[in-house]
Amino acid sequence: MQFPTLPELSYQIEIQRDAIRAALKPYSHASIPCSVWQLVNSLVPFFLLWGLAAYLYLNYSFWPLLIITPLAAGFMVRAFIIFHDCCHGSFFQSKAANDWVGRLLGLLVFTPYDHWKHNHSVHHATAGNLDKRGVGDVQTWTVDEYRSKAWYARLGYRLMRHPLVLLTVGPLLVFTIGHRFWTSTSGRSEKLSVVFTNIALVLILALLMLLIGWRAFLAVQLPLLWIASICGVWLFYVQHNFDGTYWERSQSWDFYKAGLMGSSYYKLPALLNWFTGNIGFHHIHHLAPKIPNYYLRRALASAPIFQQVRPLTIWRSLKSLGYRLWDEEQKMMVGFSALASRQPRSSLM
């Protein structure tokens, strides 16, 4: 299939805003049977696998966990997608149902619901806006910003964006430590969310350790959370860090372009799509976050423009690890190697 160039796609978005809204509206509602069934087919296997892993560790050995843990982590990722839909108010028709199911799932995925819900809402309202970065996103600097920073800030940025940190210890630290604190922009409800989630987690983890012992608990939970958190961080990273993504200053920023051009269409195999709750159709999700994950595929087929977005294949997504900075002059993601071939803007004036 021949995909339009970015300028061509940009023009198509400008003239099809009404059509985009009309195409997505029929899918922006929850189906109670679909939501309940998704809870069942995600949580029941997760808890069964967790219990099986603990049983095998206590009665046999650690080695069977090498097979069970990655599978359980897949169901944990799926549980996070449901948690994510609850944050958008899209999983149930009732706000109360979304909030309370989301809070309970937040304990399973080690994430305070109201705090994450607030930050993620800010992310959706500001994705692709260079003037409103910093809340609920992966930190991204421009080339000129990087040049203007002190050496230690640049070192920290390099470490944070390095694959050996981004996809190893980083995700685990985010979920075990990072989510235990609120941010400077947090309101009262977000702070209480962090506090009550932390208290509940301490009680639940203490009870599990009493039941099966701390060694068995760590042998099951730590690798499980580590694998699931790596998958989650990777998905979040490639959703906005890829070749052809969209960044603009506030005066030029456009919601529809940020959705269709700045959010990836991650084309995954069917099984991975299932475990990740169709979050690969991220360009659809950013255009209409009220669409529950189980309707995203149908929404993709509802208008030709959604399929004109060049898919991000697994191979292409791996290349995105080399993109570290946004070049405002060229309007593209670049690697650190681009710093050697370009002078600071101030020196060109």
What digits encode the pLDDT tens for the residues 101-145?
Answer: 999 999 999 999 999 999 999 999 999 999 999 888 889 999 999
pLDDT (mean) for 24-43:
97
pLDDT (mean) for 308-326:
93
Type of residue at 289: P
- pLDDT at position 185 is 83
What digits encode the pLDDT tens for the residues 171-180?
Answer: 999 999 999 9
Q: Parallel, antiparallel, or unpaired: how do β-strands 141-142 and 325-327 relate?
A: parallel
d(CA 206, CA 280): 36
- pLDDT at position 349 is 33
> Residues of 310-329 as b/e, b for ≥16 C-beta within 10 angstroms?
bebeeebbeebbebbbbbbe
Whether the predicted pLDDT of 346 surpasses 50 = no
pLDDT (mean) for 261-272:
95
Least confident of 90-99, 206-215, 334-343: 334-343
DSSP-assigned letter for residue 170: H
Which of residues 167 and 37 earns the better pLDDT score?
37
Whether the predicted pLDDT of 2 surpasses 60 = yes
Asked if 323 and 243 count as a contact pair (C-beta separation under 8 A), the reply is yes
Domain limits, the chain: 6-348
What digits encode the pLDDT tens for the residues 152-193?
Answer: 999 999 999 999 999 999 999 999 999 999 988 899 999 999
Closest CA to 136 of 200, 179, 90: 179
Asked if 325 and 144 count as a contact pair (C-beta separation under 8 A), the reply is no
Closest CA to 321 of 267, 243, 258: 243
Whether the predicted pLDDT of 251 surpasses 90 = yes
Q: Give Cα separations from 238 to 122, 231, 253, 273 (angstroms).
A: 19, 11, 20, 15
Type of residue at 99: D
- pLDDT at position 178 is 95
- pLDDT at position 347 is 39
Please give the distance of CA 285 from its chain centroid, rounded to a whole number: 11
* pTM of structure: 0.94
Alpha-helix residue ranges (DSSP H) falling in 127-213: 143-148, 151-161, 163-164, 170-176, 188-212
- pLDDT at position 343 is 58
Strand partners, 141: 325
Asked if 223 and 171 count as a contact pair (C-beta separation under 8 A), the reply is no
Whether the predicted pLDDT of 266 surpasses 60 = yes
Per-residue confidence band for 340, with pLDDT thresholds at 50, 70 and 90: confident
pLDDT (mean) for 211-234:
96
pLDDT (mean) for 289-315:
95
